């Protein structure tokens, strides 16, 4: 029996070494390694959640409070990010500018799926830094496909990982899986920079960094993360800049998003008085109100309500007091039935 076992071990060793040294580079963008996006059979999506897809922020990376789109963004970068982003643009700018053209079919697939999950469309750039859109790229750790998903995680998301039918290499199916993973991570960390970090190093490693640093701000806890993860987040930021020309929701910390949302709501109402402007009235509310329930009971178009009251549900859910703007006649109605609206809103939340 010993004479039989030795060749088997040798064959396994040779196979392992072959896999180790035959790993495609994640930054090979040649047509030989690219496959056309295939819609495939979509993984059943989670309930849709709308997350605001804003492009005007990026305060954590700028030396002043807000990014000014009329000025060159490089001159406004936070000193913490400036050296890396400048070098990244010099090194990868030409390659990524070309990808804007040949990668459009893939980005269209990504956008459609991310939109289904209510995720910021900028998250598609995570696939760029993970694999350079190479469908059959394989990492040293064994992650596969354009989103570089590990086998166990892929199985958890319902993907097949066997042989030539490895669905991690399918642009559509792997994006559905990645979207679910990203949504789960955001539910844990509520911060897009931390989501990008966790996607690279794992949620457990990130929680450990948060405990050691005593903060959930990426710029303050990054020293407790692996160097690869720190650079991963910064490459995402640099890629975002090259493709978008400025920052967005995914490159802001959770506290910065809240600050931005509060500022947006305040700006929306800054010219309104207690008796309102153009027939509007401000009503101060707090508690578990829901915009959809308010709109239904007041017979107000939900889109119109949200335009007057940006990020209402998110800020109310965070325990904020909100200066709600309503047409004056609807404000009077609200005062009369606000308890009914509140009770219905609570019942709606319990069903979620």
pLDDT, one tens digit per residue, over 266-290 is 555 543 333 344 578 888 898 889 9
Total number of domains in the chain: 2
CATH code of the domain containing 47: 1.10.530.10
Neighbours of 287 (CB within 10 A): 13
How high is the pLDDT of residue 84? 75
pLDDT, one tens digit per residue, over 322-341 is 889 998 888 888 888 888 89
Query: In the predicted model, is pLDDT for residue 167 greater than 60?
Result: yes
Same domain, 194 and 342: no
How high is the pLDDT of residue 181? 96
Same domain, 109 and 196: yes
Q: Are 249 and 257 in contact (CB under 8 A)?
A: yes
Same domain, 37 and 172: yes
Same domain, 148 and 209: yes
How high is the pLDDT of residue 266? 55
Among 202, 206, 204, which residue's Cα sits nearest to residue 224?
206
SS (H, E, C) 109-153: HHHHHHHHCCCCHHHHHHHHHHHCCCCCCECCCCCECCCCECHHH
Given pLDDT bands bounded at 50, 70 and 90, which one contains residue 157? very high
Residue 323, SS3? strand
- Sorted by sequence, the CB contacts under 8 Å of residue 344 that are 6+ apart come out as 293, 297
Same domain, 250 and 284: no
How high is the pLDDT of residue 17? 39
* Mean per-residue pLDDT over the chain, rounded: 75
Q: Cα separation of 223 and 221, whole Å?
A: 5
How high is the pLDDT of residue 203? 95
Same domain, 140 and 251: yes
Same domain, 78 and 161: yes
Q: Cα separation of 253 and 58, whole Å?
A: 9
Q: Are 172 and 147 in contact (CB under 8 A)?
A: no
Residue range 174-196: mean pLDDT, rounded: 93
Same domain, 229 and 110: yes
pLDDT, one tens digit per residue, over 16-68 is 434 433 333 333 333 333 344 444 444 444 444 444 434 333 345 555 555 55
Question: Residue 17: inside a domain, yes or no?
Answer: no
Same domain, 146 and 290: no
Structural domain harbouring 187: 26-255
Neighbours of 64 (CB within 10 A): 10
Neighbours of 239 (CB within 10 A): 23
Question: Residue 40: inside a domain, yes or no?
Answer: yes
Among 246, 285, 250, which residue's Cα sits nearest to residue 265?
285
Same domain, 243 and 195: yes
- Nearest-5° angle of CA 232, CA 205, CA 260? 60
Residue range 289-310: mean pLDDT, rounded: 89
């Amino acid at each position: 029996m010993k004479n039989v076992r030795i060749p088997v071990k040798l064959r396994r060793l040779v196979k392992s070494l072959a896999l180790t040294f035959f790993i495609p580079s994640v930054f090979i963008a040649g047509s030989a390694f690219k496959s056309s996006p295939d819609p495939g059979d979509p993984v059943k999506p989670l309930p849709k959640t709308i997350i605001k897809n804003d492009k005007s922020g990026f305060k954590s990376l700028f030396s002043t409070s807000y990014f000014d789109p009329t000025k060159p963004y490089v001159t406004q970068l936070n000193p913490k990010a400036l050296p890396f982003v400048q070098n990244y643009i010099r090194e990868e700018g030409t390659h990524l500018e070309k990808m804007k053209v040949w990668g459009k079919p893939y980005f269209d697939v990504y956008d459609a799926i991310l939109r289904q999950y209510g995720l910021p469309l900028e998250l598609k750039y995570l696939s760029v830094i993970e694999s350079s859109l190479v469908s059959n790229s394989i990492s040293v750790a064994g992650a596969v496909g354009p989103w570089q998903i590990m086998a166990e995680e892929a199985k958890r998301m319902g993907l097949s990982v066997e042989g030539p039918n490895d669905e991690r290499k399918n642009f559509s199916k792997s994006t559905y899986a990645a979207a679910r993973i990203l949504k789960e991570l955001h539910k844990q960390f509520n911060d897009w920079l931390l989501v990008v970090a966790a996607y690279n190093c794992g949620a457990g490693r990130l929680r450990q960094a948060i405990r050691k640093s005593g903060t959930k701000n990426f710029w303050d806890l990054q020293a407790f993360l692996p160097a690869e993860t720190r650079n991963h987040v910064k490459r995402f930021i640099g890629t975002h800049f090259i493709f978008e020309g400025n920052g967005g929701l995914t490159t802001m910390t959770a506290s910065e998003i809240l600050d931005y949302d509060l500022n947006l709501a305040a700006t929306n109402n800054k010219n309104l008085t207690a008796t309102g402007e153009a027939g509007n009235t401000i009503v101060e509310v707090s508690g578990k109100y829901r915009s959809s329930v308010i709109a239904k009971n007041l017979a107000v178009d939900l889109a119109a309500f949200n335009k007057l009251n940006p990020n209402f549900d998110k800020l109310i859910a965070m325990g904020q007091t909100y200066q709600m703007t309503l047409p004056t006649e609807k404000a009077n109605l609200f005062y009369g039935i606000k308890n009914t609206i509140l009770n219905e809103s609570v019942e709606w939340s319990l069903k979620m």
